[in-house]
Amino acid sequence: MRQNQQGLYLRSAKLLRESVPSFEEYPFHLSAIRNLDELGFHPKVTYIVGENGMGKSTLMEAIAIGLGFNAEGGTINFNFSTEATHSELHHYLRLARSAIKPRDGFFFRAESYYNLATNIDQMDRAGGFGGRIIDSYGGKSLHQQSHGESFFATFLHRFNGNGLYMMDEPEAALSPFRQMAMLSRIHQLVEQRSQFIIATHSPILMAYPDSVIYNLTSEGIERTTLEETDHYMLMKQFINNREKMLHELFLK
């Protein structure tokens, strides 16, 4: 799928198809990757959505690594590795950047956030970094907060604007109220010349109006709207027809 939108910092990601060793092997056998040509990014917010197993996290990880981020998350200054499980996809992507360079950046990955928080504590205990790293996350150890509070502390304190922020399932530990607060925070940062690429299952987080949504399916990648996503339609149907849906679910 080819799009020609001009991103604020990151314009597009192109799969170098002629260099792919085999489309029968991981991760190239994934439908979304197998059918990928060039994906254009919105200058404000780009969403990557789809069912589990479609390749959202694999694609996000490859783009993040290609930008210089650590595979397990953080800024480009983080180089810890708990276990090297990332794919080789980043070697086969060509990232087109704009002439404008971000002053800030972060790869937020929900599944490895615990490892990031641990690494921050370890580096602060070791010292020698010209100040405590945790101070830029609000000053309190991320392990001494609830999962949701520590997530939001990063969004609130570490994201400084004029940045490129990649987020993989940031809603994982957030209540609906916090998801709405996150949406407001995204808007604040967009107004401070920030660009977001977000993989999510949350219809709330998908609701940012000045954005593009790419749906990863077994047939490839398609551009869609919030109201056309399965996430939105299923949630709406469940809320409006709860008793009927529960009856159908329990009969199976």
Query: Higher model confidence: residue 156 or residue 77?
Result: 156
Provide the H-helix boundaries in the chain.
31-34, 56-66, 113-126, 147-153, 176-190, 230-240, 242-251
In a domain, 148, yes or no: yes
Beta-sheet strands, E only, within the chain = 10-15, 38-40, 45-50, 93-97, 104-109, 163-168, 195-199, 211-217, 220-224
- For residue 93, what pLDDT band results from cuts at 50, 70 and 90? very high
Low-confidence winner among 91-105, 119-133, 161-175, 237-251 (lowest mean pLDDT): 119-133
Do residues 127 and 38 touch, judged by C-beta distance below 8 A?
no
- Tell me phi and psi for residue 217, to 5 degrees: -130, 175
In a domain, 241, yes or no: no
Q: What is the pLDDT of residue 131?
A: 77
In a domain, 211, yes or no: yes
Total domains present in the chain: 1
In a domain, 251, yes or no: no
64-85 pLDDT, tens per residue?
Answer: 999 999 888 888 877 766 665 5
What is the distance in angstroms between the CA of the first residue and the CA of the last residue of the chain? Answer: 37
* Among the listed residues 85, 94, 90, 142, the one whose alpha carbon sits nearest the alpha carbon of residue 115: 142
Question: What is the pTM assigned to this prediction?
Answer: 0.90
Q: What is the pLDDT of residue 12?
A: 96
In a domain, 240, yes or no: no
**Helices 230-240, 242-251: inter-axial angle, 10-degree rounding:** 100
Q: What is the pLDDT of residue 80?
A: 66
Q: What is the pLDDT of residue 85?
A: 59
State mean pLDDT over 12-21: 95
Residue 4 has pLDDT above 50, yes or no: no
Provide the residue range defining the domain that includes 162: 10-226
State mean pLDDT over 120-149: 83
Distances (CA, A) of 251 to 34, 234, 239, 246: 37, 18, 19, 9
Q: What is the pLDDT of residue 100?
A: 92
Q: What is the pLDDT of residue 246?
A: 92
Enter the tokens of residue 106: 């972060």
In a domain, 159, yes or no: yes
Q: What is the pLDDT of residue 136?
A: 84
Q: What is the pLDDT of residue 81?
A: 60
Residue 2 has pLDDT above 50, yes or no: no
CATH number at residue 61: 3.40.50
State mean pLDDT over 109-117: 79
In a domain, 238, yes or no: no
163-218 pLDDT, tens per residue?
Answer: 999 999 999 889 999 999 999 999 999 999 999 999 999 999 999 999 999 999 98
* Among the listed residues 230, 198, 223, 216, the one whose alpha carbon sits nearest the alpha carbon of residue 54: 216
In a domain, 17, yes or no: yes
Average pLDDT, the chain: 89
Residue 1 has pLDDT above 60, yes or no: no
Q: How many CA atoms lie within 13 A of 65 on its CB side?
A: 19
Q: What is the pLDDT of residue 6?
A: 61
22-75 pLDDT, tens per residue?
Answer: 999 999 999 889 889 999 999 999 999 999 888 899 999 999 999 999 888 888
